[in-house]
Structure 1
Amino acid sequence: MYSNEAGVRKNSDYYIYTASVQAKKAFFYPTYVGYFYYEPTYYLHRNSYDSFLIMHVKKGSCYIEVDNHTQYVEKDQIVFLDCYKPHTYYTHTGWEAEWLHFDGPTAREYFHMVTSITGLVVTLKDTYIFEKYLHKIYLMFHENKPIKEALVSQYITNILTELLLSRENTAAGSSSSNIADEIIAYINEHLCENMTLEALSSRASLSPYYFTRMFKSETGFTPHEYIIASRINSAKFLLKNTNSSVKEICFRTGFASESAFCSTFKKWEKCTPSAYRNHVEK
């Protein structure tokens, strides 16, 4: 379908898609897909558009405005917008872009994970994989191919994964995420040992206060919560898959006493270890 929108060249095309009820419940799904050539006069403001937008600038440049903040976007950069919020984009020079409006049950979480570090404009060191899957989605519609919703969802997931990995190219994100990854690996390797906040923060070369804030920002857990969650998950595996006694499992997963293990397990799982094992075996 060719565009009649003001400020968009006539050879620009777009496609509208209505996802199935199943896709809306389970998948990422496209709502609009297109490739536009924007004139220097182009200006758009929306209060809401009920989707998320990923736009790859192929040529030229533009500006985006969200929350009274303006950002300049140039060739090879990627815009990631929450279009449920008021937003504006425009250009003085014209630009060319391949774009995808999409949504899904976890779209907002992905949006927050990416933009909390990179902001709304993302620069990838290598755009090959990102471009490959964005263009695959466009070609499905452009060439009138059958739309396989699970496959399109996979393509969108691949695109979002590339944007998430771009956080490692951002100085702040790189430092925090690498430290968190190293500490998580250390915790998993020493799960049955006593690990204090002071020891972990020292290993990260950070103060306990800053380390705790950084770790929670990256994982959603405090260091102590992550250790307990990992120990409980390990205990659940052993309860389901071995004949080891509750006492043996307690010490194999790093708890100081059987009573501490049972009370913590009940707090997290709302049942005792024995009750959990019996429920699994039924």
Structure 2
Amino acid sequence: MLSAFLYNIHQILEGSMISYETHILPNSDYYVYTPSTLAKKLFFYPICIGSFRYESGYRLARDSYDSFLMMYILKGTCFVTVGSHTMQAMADQLVLLDCYAPHVYGTDSGFEALWLHFDGPMARIFYETIVSEKGSLLYPAHPDAIHRSLYHIYDTFRSHAPIAEDQISGTITNILSDLLSSEKAQQVSGKTQIGISEAISHINKYFYKSITLQELADIAALSPYYFSRVFARETGMTPHKYLISTRMANAKFLLKTSQMSVKEIAIRSGFSDESGFCTAFKKQEGMTPKEYRSSNC
């Protein structure tokens, strides 16, 4: 009787919604849902779910969106900032966020993601347990299974199938349980994580200076080889790429907000000469620094 009640008594039944945010590409859609009173008491339940293609320059900053978010990265890379910590997520990784708290995410190069805002009486307990043990950037042991589960929920809404709240709750429970119990054996010690964080802080503070791999490895108290592996695992990019990305972010800020010459911006951003800066900038942004400045004036 309970199953019969839950099967299509309380469901959406709006069609798909198209986002009008800037830097979200066509063929991106989402679906909103209002759970039943019973579901709010008993289950995990979806609030909205979508499949988005984000282009370079997308950025979302929110003080709060009352829910928890799981975002499975299908392609590309995105950055996620929670508090003072910024992470880089890439394909087959999953980001788990407490959207009751301020958060920021976006991309400098474009990405695609399947995402679900959800909640429920056990949502915070699951979230806090997973994040305290694994962090917010997760490496699922079985990414294809996570993808299939999220896509199943998404496709249920997209196809306008009846919404069985108990079944969707079970799918969300399975995803969270899998994240908690069977993440890839890639975890590093707390001491090593602190070392990586200190190396990142060093880059963010001194990006305009010459920084070597050995210097960063020494800060983290690791061998250069192991440091590079762990750094890439934790951030989604190599130490060198992270350094260049930080320098580029500073250069773009100065191009937008100052009247400095391109040469001066290159030096202040840590590049040894204007030519090397222009080459690297065009490779990353698809335009020269002068073109970037003109397009952002």
Query: TM-score normalised to the size of structure 1?
Result: 0.59
1:20-169 → structure 2 map (5 Å cutoff) = 20-167=36-183, 169=185
Pick one of 22, 29, 39 that aligns with 1:13.
29
Distance (Å, rounded) in 1 between the aligned partners of 2:24 and 2:132: 31
Displacement of 1:2 in angstroms is: 1.7
Q: Which residue of 2 aligns with 1:265?
A: none
Larger Rg: 1
Q: Structure 1: which amino acid aligns with 2:25?
A: R
Give aligned-pair identity as a percent: 46
Task: Give the number of aligned pairs.
Answer: 173
CA RMSD in angstroms, aligned pairs only:
1.3
**Greater RCO, CA 8 A, separation 6+:** 2
1:194-213 → structure 2 map (5 Å cutoff) = none
Displacement of 1:33 in angstroms is: 0.3
1:133 aligned counterpart, secondary structure: helix
Q: Structure 1: which amino acid aligns with 2:170?
A: Q
Distance (Å, rounded) in 2 between the aligned partners of 1:127 and 1:168: 10
Displacement of 1:128 in angstroms is: 2.5
Query: TM-score normalised to the size of structure 2?
Result: 0.57
Displacement of 1:147 in angstroms is: 0.6
Distance (Å, rounded) in 2 between the aligned partners of 1:109 and 1:102: 13
Displacement of 1:41 in angstroms is: 1.2
Deviations 1:140-180 (A, max 9, x none): 0111111110010001001111111235624469xxxxxxx
Q: Structure 1: which amino acid aligns with 2:60?
A: L
Unaligned runs of 5+ in 2: 1-16, 190-297
Deviations 1:23-46 (A, max 9, x none): 000000000100000010100000
Q: Structure 1: which amino acid aligns with 2:33?
A: Y
Displacement of 1:67 in angstroms is: 0.9
Displacement of 1:124 in angstroms is: 1.6
Runs of 4+ that moved beyond 4 A = none
Distance (Å, rounded) in 1 between the aligned partners of 2:130 and 2:158: 28
Equivalent residues of 2:69, 2:116 under 8 A apart? yes
Equivalent residues of 1:8, 1:39 under 8 A apart? yes
Deviations 1:229-281 (A, max 9, x none): xxxxxxxxxxxxxxxxxxxxxxxxxxxxxxxxxxxxxxxxxxxxxxxxxxxxx
